[in-house]
Chain A
Amino acid sequence: MAFLEAHNLHKTYRLSRNNHVRALRGVDVTVEAGEMVGIMGPSGCGKSTLMHILGLLHSPDLDTSPAPSLVIDDTDVTALDDRERTRMRAERMGFVFQSFNLVSTLTAAENVALPAEYAGRRKSDARAEAMDALRQVDLGEWAGHRPMELSGGQQQRVAIARALVNSPDLLLADEPTGNLDSESTGEVMALLHWFNREQGQTIVLVTHDTRVSEACSRVLTIRDGVIT
């Protein structure tokens, strides 16, 4: 069985009584362990919605026929409650966002340590693991700096360190280079590529950028809520 298998994923957002948006209309996705899969498509096609469902931030519509299924590493996650989904996010998933999403009042090391703390590690252990992760993205010397004191590229590398601090099974990246210049894009992609190639990190990323998708081992395209 593949590492991640999703079948018949639908997602409808009810904006008002008569205004529904069908973001996903029956998506099937399979990701093998160690793959780096890119998801491309025009704006509003459902890429981010798919990422949110794969990342357990949202649930697919459950009232479809046949019923949706999302199995990650032999665990059917469609039936998990909020507490279990949260624990799974903390322990087995890493997230990288387009706009870095670091906590502005915390230092780089404190930001990176957060998922480790949420996964139940003691503060001192979490801090030590955060330092290791920061060194892996070559930012060990910037550990005590706040996000505002870092460049965009550096902030995204901190975000990658944060995503990887718990050695997750799956790294999800939503437009990880969307806010970066060419040079930083190159650095970030090189880093993601290195983690995928050298450490076998399974990565699913959403992107508009063909230079980014070219680095992926496989690319899926979504259009109007279905994979084409």
Chain B
Amino acid sequence: MLRSLMRRKLRTTLTVLGITVGIWALMVMSAMANKLTALVDGGSTYFNDKILVSDATNPAFGFGYVPMPVGIVDEVGAVPGVAVAAPRVHFMLDPEDAGIGFSASDFVVAFTAGVDRGHETFRWEIAQGRETAAADEGRRVVMLGADLARKFGKAPGDRMLIRGTEFEVIGVLEPTLMFFDTTAVIPWSAGQEFLARDPAVLAEFGPEPPELTSMVIVYPEEGEDFHALIQAITAAHPGMRGVTSDDFDDQFGSTVAILNAIILSVALISIVVGGLSVINTMTMSVAERTREIGIKRAIGASRGVIMRELVVEAGLMGLIGGLVGLGLAGVVVYFANDAGQTSGTILFLMTPWIGALGVSFSTVLGAVAGALPAWNAARLDPVEALRFG
């Protein structure tokens, strides 16, 4: 089989290369789509058990929250149906970050450990060091998400500057495949220090601002209807807005779905081109081997044998192309993610599933593309084929 492929080395190489490029594109793009989907899915899951209440002038998720006096937390907590209302300070790590990027921005969140009173269902894993504790209040310590730790090359015991203030890194999280990967978690008290010298805060609340919060994380009581609860909260506090995982899906889900569709379309176009090149190569190969096919049919090869031989040959080209494409995609993803660490842009999430699917797809593509020329070859009249060439 390989010998037949190697009969026209250049042609086989070019065909395999065509498939390689297609599969490479498919896998790299899939890895990118996978990462984006994981981010959105992770976020959606995270917001499943809670309502995020903030000033109505804020964007729904993510960026530049307007601080509010912390008294609002108790007021929201008093609304019937609210099990726990927890304050949380939230701002961008880089004040210049407008939150527009291909992946999640770097965030700083500040809260007192345990403020959720056991209602938080999301659990992170600690990779190194320890997580922040209630006893850390008053200290300048930080726990870093996995991507952020890699980006800044920080480990527990290291010092890190957050908006000009030095913090001690006490822990690093395992990857969560959501925004926590690019988040620095600091004690509530440290968050207050930042707000107290924020020019916008000083302009609004004067030189001695009260204790402030960016949002209220509401954990509803069991069985509570989230949307009804949001209505109750906003009725009591007209300037507020509450969002849930449904809103998160609305805001990011459809955007990512469209982005994924575009990404995969580009990859599929590459695949079609690869498939056409297999059809072309196998058609030429059959034409060149007409006589050989005639010989084999004359001495007893059935149509099935001829078809199988050519389809397997085409499938083999697909397999080789797929494996090389997988290798190249692995290299690109590795180096791109490695380079992205410094900027915090980890674009790709390559999984064994993507690799296995890509290689299988490529093999099947080769075989399917080879089927038509093979079928034509199998139907050749042996005597006519023997006269050929």
Residue numbers of A with Cβ under 8 A of B are 52, 55, 57-58, 82-83, 86-87, 89-91, 93-95, 97, 101-106, 114-115, 118-119, 162-163
On chain B, the residues within 8 Å of A87 by CB distance are 300, 302
Question: Cα distance A101–B297 when bound, in Å?
Answer: 12
Asked if residues A89 and B300 are in contact (CB atoms below 8 Å), the reply is yes
On chain A, the residues within 8 Å of B292 by CB distance are 103-104
Q: Can you name the residue of chain B whose Cβ is closest to the Cβ of A94?
A: B299
Asked if residues A57 and B299 are in contact (CB atoms below 8 Å), the reply is no
Show 14 residue pairs from A and B whose CB-CB distance is below 8 angstroms, ordered by the A residue.
A55-B298, A57-B383, A58-B383, A83-B302, A86-B297, A86-B303, A90-B300, A90-B302, A94-B299, A95-B298, A103-B292, A106-B3, A115-B299, A118-B300
Asked if residues B301 and A105 are in contact (CB atoms below 8 Å), the reply is no
On chain A, the residues within 8 Å of B296 by CB distance are 103, 114, 118
Asked if residues B7 and A105 are in contact (CB atoms below 8 Å), the reply is yes
Chain B proximity of A11: nearest CB distance (Å): 11
Question: Cα distance A171–B212 when bound, in Å?
Answer: 100
On chain A, the residues within 8 Å of B383 by CB distance are 52, 57-58
Q: A52-B383, A105-B7 are in contact. Are A91 and B300 (CB under 8 A)?
A: yes
Asked if residues B305 and A89 are in contact (CB atoms below 8 Å), the reply is no
Chain B proximity of A97: nearest CB distance (Å): 7
Question: Cα distance A52–B381 when bound, in Å?
Answer: 11
Q: Which of B186-244 contact A (CB under 8 A)?
A: none
On chain B, the residues within 8 Å of A119 by CB distance are 300
On chain B, the residues within 8 Å of A89 by CB distance are 298-300
Asked if residues B3 and A86 are in contact (CB atoms below 8 Å), the reply is no
B 2-16 to A, binary, CB cutoff 8 A, 1 in contact else 0: 011001000000000
On chain A, the residues within 8 Å of B7 by CB distance are 105
Question: Cα distance A106–B381 when bound, in Å?
Answer: 22
Asked if residues A114 and B299 are in contact (CB atoms below 8 Å), the reply is yes
Known: A86-B297, A114-B300. 11 other contacts (CB 8 A): A55-B298, A90-B299, A90-B300, A90-B302, A91-B300, A95-B298, A101-B291, A101-B298, A103-B296, A104-B292, A162-B299
Chain B proximity of A225: nearest CB distance (Å): 17
Q: A52-B383, A101-B295, A103-B296 are in contact. Are A118 and B3 (CB under 8 A)?
A: no
Q: Can you name the residue of chain B whose Cβ is closest to the Cβ of A51?
A: B383
Chain A proximity of B379: nearest CB distance (Å): 10
Question: Cα distance A103–B297 when bound, in Å?
Answer: 12
On chain B, the residues within 8 Å of A118 by CB distance are 296, 299-302, 305
Question: Cα distance A105–B1 when bound, in Å?
Answer: 10
Q: Can you name the residue of chain A whose Cβ is closest to the Cβ of B3?
A: A105
B386 part of interface (Cβ distance < 8 Å)? yes
Question: Cα distance A104–B292 when bound, in Å?
Answer: 8
Chain B proximity of A170: nearest CB distance (Å): 13
B382 part of interface (Cβ distance < 8 Å)? yes
Chain B proximity of A86: nearest CB distance (Å): 5
Q: Can you name the residue of chain A whose Cβ is closest to the Cβ of B302?
A: A86
Q: A82-B303, A118-B305 are in contact. Are A57 and B295 (CB under 8 A)?
A: no
Asked if residues A97 and B386 are in contact (CB atoms below 8 Å), the reply is yes
Instruction: Pick the residue among A86, A97, A106 that contacts B301 (CB under 8 A).
Output: A86
